[in-house]
Amino acid sequence: MRVLGIDPGLTRCGVGVVEGMPGRPGKLIAYHVVRSEPDEDIAQRLLHLDRSLAELVALHRPDSVAVERVFSQHNARTVMGTAQASAVAILAGSRAGLPVQTYTPSEVKAAVTGSGTAGKAQVTAMVTRLLSLDAPPKPADAADAIAIAICHIWRGGTRAKIQAAAIAAARRSSR
């Protein structure tokens, strides 16, 4: 399975592409950071992000897209920008006809480090170790996006099976 993981942000949006299967070491295909200037018009920033993500989806041809879910932050302006970038990321996958799944930061941290409260340095170190990389991916937005992709590979397969079983059970009971 090839997953395009996205750590949404307006100034820096991390994108990581990982191939793998649940329970097995993955392989890093690529990582990118889509950047925009904070003083640029918001519409232009979102358009740039939309076009960049569409290009990356077309380039890497993932089987699915995983996006970090927006969580409550103290700074309303930051959370608004992150939410807008997240919506663009979800649309990029949907527009390409791909399944899209969102994960909380705690889910991602727990998947790659074993602790939902791990710090950025721990996540980066585990991403480096899990994928047998020569050097940690930089900046942290890229490492986070890669971690999101790993989380989806390891947990998304299980989620998909549970959803499929629930749908099948609902169909049987409605007959």
End-to-end CA distance of the chain: 34
- Per-residue model confidence as pLDDT tens digits over 53-96: 999 999 999 999 999 998 766 667 678 888 999 999 999 999 99
Residues 22, 158: contact at Cβ < 8 Å? yes
What residues contact residue 144 under an 8 Å CB cut-off, 6+ apart?
A: 7, 14, 68, 108, 120, 123
Query: DSSP for 71-98?
Result: ---S-HHHHHHHHHHHHHHHHHHHHTT-
- Nearest 10 degrees: CA dihedral of 70, 59, 160, 156? -60
Output the pTM of the full model: 0.88
- Per-residue model confidence as pLDDT tens digits over 107-156: 999 999 998 889 899 999 999 999 999 999 999 999 999 999 999 999 87
- Out of 19, 50, 55, 68, pick the active-site residue: 68
- Out of 7, 19, 37, 50, pick the active-site residue: 7
- Out of 37, 39, 141, 144, pick the active-site residue: 141
Q: Which two tokens stand for residue 79?
A: 């959370």
Q: Any catalytic annotation for residue 55?
A: no
Q: Any catalytic annotation for residue 7?
A: yes
Q: Any catalytic annotation for residue 68?
A: yes
